[in-house]
Amino acid sequence: MIFKGKVFKFGDNIDTDAIIPARYLNDSSDENLKKHCMEDADPAFSSNVSKGDFIVAGSNFGCGSSREHAPRAIKASGVPVVIAKSFARIFYRNSFNIGLFILEANTDDIASGDTLEVNTDNGEIKNLTKNTVINAKPIPKFMSELVNAGGLMEYARKRVKEGGRR
Amino acid sequence: MGRPLTITEKIILNHTDLDDVMPGDIVNARVDIALGNDITAPIAIKEFETIGIKGVFDRQKIALVPDHFVPNKDILSARQAKMLREFAKTYDIKYYFECGEAGVEHALLPEKGIVLPGDLVIGADSHTCTYGALGAFATGVGSTDLAYAFAFGELWLKVPESIKVVFEGRPKKWVSGKDLVLYLIGQIGVEGANYMALEFSGNTFKHLGMADRFTISNMAIEAGAKSGIFEPDEITEEYVKGRANRDYTFYKSDEGAKYAKVLNFNTEIINPQVAFPHLPENSVDINEASAKNIKIDQSVIGSCTNGRIEDLRIAAQVLKGKKIAKYTRLIVIPATVEVYRMAEKEGLIDIFMDAGAVVSTPTCGPCLGGYMGILADGERAISSTNRNFKGRMGDVTSEVYLANPAVCAASAILGKISNPEEVM
């Protein structure tokens, strides 16, 4: 799939407490998560983000807690893809499980406000503002199948339809 | 005989129908225990109900522990806890605990013998890696993963490479598992073991007990690790016997098993550590930290990292007969009801209260900035918990320093970050 939007750039080690602070975890609704997404990293994020925009970050994005609320908050904000130099493990698997695209790439030359065109099939990231192209690491086959199938729950429903538990 | 395997590879292999597994393989693994709490399980329950399956895979292999915002901190939290209770009733879930019998999940499950050596455990909580201390493969996952495991009793896993971490030598006075793991994270960084299994070994662990192993495995995630495992031994056996009511298996790594790297540390040169804001990797020697004269507003002793009876005993040893500093709060949170009861019987609760501490019922509470000890703007805490991210315990301008329970107790007495030696 191809997505086009503007960039919200963050640094290294953006933890899940910054993505969705624990004080809001008493309500897992999309509306609540969206309202407080990225609040402790950029309090203005939820009012400035538009559907189709990208979160771009440095290394170890999503470190810390296993809270799936973090990728859900990002997805609920309308962000289709997160691009970072590297991702923490649980955030990585949670994103694919819920159908949020994750790309690993060198993000040094991407700045806040840049417009990107991102192809999740081949990992090509065109920076339309700077007229450059960056190639993301290929998404492992299993992961792209998972996300293209609509995530793990879609896969689970299919498994039940096709014959149940085992 | 196949190729030599690490303990992690062996446990994963024995939970599949495969003949061999290699690091990097994605496998479907059978799950012995699937765990959720009052924050993560509500999403899992909602997702589970969309799968269209009749019943859970096994009512005896699911654990639901309301601990993060329990006793309920507000109406919304009460609703989340209620969802767990209703689900537990509907499916007759064996391991569901109300607050009068529960505690912080990762202290509770080993204490009750629910997770055992050789198990494959997944939990929708990042500190699920704690159970590696028992010689189990245990890893944190998300709520959707948990829903899938509720339904099918299995989950996709990537077989991790392992890093062997060897600590040799006798620990100095006041040095605990917490200090060794903070030191390790300081050396390799918060991303140093991303996607990998940490395997701990060395003769240092003959001098430390299970509580220290739990603390070390617990914080494997703070180096990005998938799991943090110990080979079980006589210390494990001593802990597990009398708690287990099903069979368990001691796995060991084979001679010649392949590691991504081997890290060797001399325990004898390590002092108590303090991790400065805002990452667990910012660990500093206690003497250096103490010399900086860092004033604190609050000290917290508790959590899945350091809320066990051994932790409270050490804190009480430091606090006995002393008072905490004026304008300083000390919050002590026994990790489980059983720990609370033992602390009471041993007279520890009196020692804490005489010193001016407040003792809370078991909860994760302040560790994640939930409740029961939230920091105001600009406030500073020292804490025996596991994370010091920006805003972790309250306002985004507050600060958290991580340390062992003895350092937290000493710091409460002097109102600044202190070496326990300074108050003894």
Instruction: Tell me the per-residue pLDDT of B193-225, one tens digit each, with 9 for 90 and over.
Output: 999 999 999 999 999 999 999 999 999 999 999
Confidence category of residue A145, pLDDT binned at 50, 70, 90: confident
Asked whether the beta carbons of A7 and A110 are under 8 A apart, the reply is yes
Instruction: Tell me the per-residue pLDDT of A85-133, one tens digit each, with 9 for 90 and over.
Output: 999 999 999 999 999 999 999 999 999 999 999 999 999 999 999 999 9
Taking the CA atoms of B330, B286, B164 and A104 in sequence, report the sign of the dihedral they define: positive
Q: Kindly determine whether residue B144 and residue A68, on different chains, have CB atoms separated by under 8 Å.
A: yes
Antiparallel, parallel or unpaired: β B26-30 and B154-158: antiparallel
pLDDT at residue B121 is higher than 60 = yes
Q: What percentage of residues in chain A have a pLDDT greater than 90?
A: 88
Q: What is the rounded CA–CA span in Å between residue B15 and residue B291?
A: 51
| Interchain CB contact of A68 with B (< 8 Å) | yes
Instruction: Tell me the per-residue pLDDT of B319-329, one tens digit each, with 9 for 90 and over.
Output: 999 999 999 99
Asked whether the beta carbons of B184 and B218 are under 8 A apart, the reply is no
**CATH fold of B7-242+259-264, please?**
Aconitase; domain 3 (3.30.499)
Q: What is the dihedral of CA B369, B372, B377, B382, to 10 degrees?
A: -80
Query: End-to-end CA distance of chain B, in Å?
Result: 56
Considering only CB atoms, A152 lies closest to which of B69, B144, B194, namely: B144
Angstroms from B151 CA to nearest CA on chain A? 7
pLDDT at residue A33 is higher than 90 = yes
Q: Kindly determine whether residue A153 and residue B195, on different chains, have CB atoms separated by under 8 Å.
A: no
ipTM: 0.96
Taking only residues 38 to 97 of chain B, the set having a beta carbon closer than 8 angstroms to any beta carbon of chain A reads: 39-40, 42-43, 46-47, 50-53, 57, 68-69, 73-74, 76-77, 80
Q: Kindly determine whether residue A18 and residue B391, on different chains, have CB atoms separated by under 8 Å.
A: yes
* Homologous superfamily, domain B275-422: Aconitase, domain 3 (3.30.499.10)
CB neighbour burial string for B44-67, b if at least 16 within 10 angstroms, e if fewer = bbebbeebebeebbbeebbbbbbb
Q: Kindly determine whether residue B126 and residue A90, on different chains, have CB atoms separated by under 8 Å.
A: yes
Q: What is the pLDDT of residue B106?
A: 98
Asked whether the beta carbons of B151 and B57 are under 8 A apart, the reply is yes
pLDDT at residue A147 is higher than 90 = no
pLDDT at residue B1 is higher than 80 = no
Antiparallel, parallel or unpaired: β B26-30 and B227-230: unpaired
Q: Kindly determine whether residue B368 and residue A22, on different chains, have CB atoms separated by under 8 Å.
A: yes
Asked whether the beta carbons of B259 and B164 are under 8 A apart, the reply is yes
Asked whether the beta carbons of B382 and B295 are under 8 A apart, the reply is no
pLDDT at residue A13 is higher than 60 = yes
Q: What is the DSSP letter of B179?
A: H
pLDDT at residue B89 is higher than 70 = yes
Task: Please tell me whether the peptide bond between B278 and the residue prior to it is cis, using omega within 30 degrees of 0.
Answer: yes
Angstroms from A104 CA to nearest CA on chain B? 14
Taking alpha carbons only, the member of B403, B402, B7, B24 closest to residue B198 is B7
pLDDT at residue A166 is higher than 70 = no
Q: Kindly determine whether residue A59 and residue B191, on different chains, have CB atoms separated by under 8 Å.
A: yes
Asked whether the beta carbons of B44 and B172 are under 8 A apart, the reply is no
For chain B, what are the domain ranges? Answer: 7-242+259-264, 275-422
Q: What is the pLDDT of residue A164?
A: 65
Q: What is the rounded CA–CA span in Å between residue A37 and residue A34?
A: 5
Residue of chain B minimizing CA distance to A159:
B51
Residues from chain B contacting residue A153 (CB–CB below 8 Å)? 47, 50-51, 144, 147-148
Q: Kindly determine whether residue A142 and residue B156, on different chains, have CB atoms separated by under 8 Å.
A: yes
| Interchain CB contact of A18 with B (< 8 Å) | yes
pLDDT at residue B158 is higher than 80 = yes
φ/ψ region of B12 (left if φ > 0, alpha if ψ in -120 to 50, else beta) reads: alpha
Angstroms from A67 CA to nearest CA on chain B? 6
- Which residues, 6 or more positions from B254, have their beta carbon under 8 angstroms from its beta carbon? B4, B5, B6, B10
Instruction: Tell me the per-residue pLDDT of B238-288, one tens digit each, with 9 for 90 and over.
Output: 999 999 999 999 999 999 999 999 999 999 999 999 999 999 999 999 999
pLDDT at residue A141 is higher than 90 = no
| Interchain CB contact of B281 with A (< 8 Å) | no
Q: What is the pLDDT of residue B134?
A: 98
Q: Indicate if B275-422 has the same CATH topology as B7-242+259-264.
A: yes
Considering only CB atoms, B389 lies closest to which of A17, A26, A69, namely: A17
| Six-digit token string for B234 | 């006589």
Residues from chain B contacting residue A67 (CB–CB below 8 Å)? 39-40, 142
Q: What is the pLDDT of residue A150?
A: 86
| Interchain CB contact of A17 with B (< 8 Å) | yes
